[in-house]
Structure 1
Amino acid sequence: MARSERLLSLLQVLRRHRRPVSGATLAAELGVSIRTLYRDIATLQAQGADIEGEPGVGYVLRPGFMLPPLMFLQGELEALMLGFRWVEKFADAPVTKAATDALAKISAVLPAELREELENTALLVGPRKIVDSETVDLALLRAAIRRERKLRLSYADAAGAVTERIVWPVALGYFEDTRILVAWCERRQAYRHFRTDRMLGLTLLEARPPRRRAAMLKEWRESEPGPRRPAAPPPDAISQP
């Protein structure tokens, strides 16, 4: 393993431990001698990593340290680029812009050879099957999820019948052929899937759901039959009011 990769691996190991971990444990996990480990810790400290501890006591990485432009491993760069390319094709415009900005920030601090690897990765994303057809602002959906607020939703089913309901947003799913809001519906007293292209109006309410979103997300996942979220629900199931 190259030394740069070893230093990165050491940082990743330290991030997994919130309490001091012994040098012997770190050395064993990295497959290096204790002497090499001490040298690597000293190198990271010199580069600005807030690693506290000493031999015989243990080491801990304090929060807030940002990676220097060391480095991503090649596989990590490929994973990043594949993710950005997927977002670019299948997400809505604000998310696509955010991903583009994030990629530019990462690329700006990479060494030249890694920047070239990032730009020339051969992993591609297939063609897009849908055209944006929402009449509502998906940023409002994401804000409701993030801020844990209720939504007033005007929704048309597959037959065109329009209903008004109050929902508790849980998650927003992006699929190749549609986008779906997972929410608890006060009218149905159950979790429902709402296609975003059938939403006619949204109002962000000040009221908060009585349960935290993380708890509802866990409950929804456990209530879903079969493999954990392999694909979008079939259209008939999505359109049920």
Structure 2
Amino acid sequence: MSRAERLLALMQVLRRQRQPARGMGLAAELGISLRTLYRDIASLRAQGAHIDGEPGIGYVLRPGFLLPPLMFSAEEIEALVLGSRWVADRADSSLGDAARNALAKIGAVLPADLRHELDSSALLVGPGTPMAVGDAELRRIRQAIRMERKLDIHYRDLQDKLSVRTIWPFALGFFEQARVIAAWCESRQAFRHFRTDRIVSLQVCDTRYPRRRQALMQDWRQIEGIPMQ
């Protein structure tokens, strides 16, 4: 691993930490000596990285620092390309355009050799099932989630029974055969899941739901037994 790759890897490890990371643990994860780790931390600090801590206590990276120039490993570039191609093919057109634009912005600031890896990636997304709901609906659902707005929906269940619900959407799952909203349902007073292809109509409300999206997500994960990421 080159020095630039090593510094990038150290930055990535520090970004993942929620608590101060001990030097021995960082060195072991990176496969380097403790002396090399201390030298790399000093190098990052000299380049402007706000890394708090000292030997024996642990290290924390404050947000807001990028290594210039922007660097990725070959596998990270493949992940970006594959993910962007999947979004472009499986999400609504607005989100697909955003994925392509983000990839173009990344490519514009990559060094020439890494830009070639980006442009020549051989990872492809195969044909998939057409979206089970239209472009406009998915955009409005994403907007409601982003703005923490309630949704009024007319929903047809598996028994073809139609109901009117007011829900607090906090997540949208993209599965191969379906798109599913995770939400708190006011009428059921519980978390429920709604397939977007069974929504007959929807309206984004002006009213924000009373809890933060992150808090709803955390409670939902605990109830469903889904590990925190």
Deviates more, 1:139-148 or 1:105-114: 139-148
Separation in structure 2 between the aligned mates of residue 176 and residue 18 of structure 1, nearest angstrom = 33
Q: Is the 8 A contact 1:51 1:61 kept in 2?
A: yes
Residue matched to 1:128: 128
Max Rg structure: 1
Shift of 1:131: 4.5
Q: Is the 8 A contact 1:69 1:110 kept in 2?
A: yes
Residue matched to 2:81: 81
Equivalent AA in structure 2 for residue 98 of structure 1: A
Say how many residue pairs are matched: 227
Shift of 1:85: 1.3
Shift of 1:3: 1.6
Q: Is the 8 A contact 2:132 2:179 kept in 1?
A: no
Q: Is the 8 A contact 1:90 1:175 kept in 2?
A: no
Shift of 1:133: 4.2
Matched, 1:11 2:14: no
Q: Is the 8 A contact 2:92 2:135 kept in 1?
A: no
Residue matched to 1:66: 66
Deviates more, 1:100-109 or 1:148-157: 148-157
Matched, 1:153 2:157: no
Equivalent AA in structure 2 for residue 175 of structure 1: F
Shift of 1:179: 1.6
Deviates more, 1:164-173 or 1:50-59: 50-59
Q: Is the 8 A contact 2:165 2:187 kept in 1?
A: yes
Shift of 1:91: 0.6
Gapped runs of 5+ residues in structure 2?
A: none
Equivalent AA in structure 1 for residue 10 of structure 2: L
Q: Is the 8 A contact 1:22 1:58 kept in 2?
A: yes
Equivalent AA in structure 2 for residue 14 of structure 1: L
Aligned CA distance change for structure 1 residues 61 and 165 (closer, same or farther; 3 Å)? closer
Query: What is the TM-score with the length of structure 2 in the denominator?
Result: 0.79
Gapped runs of 5+ residues in structure 1?
A: 230-241
Residue matched to 1:111: 111
Separation in structure 2 between the aligned mates of residue 192 and residue 58 of structure 1, nearest angstrom = 42
Aligned CA distance change for structure 1 residues 151 and 48 (closer, same or farther; 3 Å)? same
RMSD value, Cα: 3.3
Q: Is the 8 A contact 1:150 1:167 kept in 2?
A: yes
Aligned CA distance change for structure 1 residues 184 and 36 (closer, same or farther; 3 Å)? closer
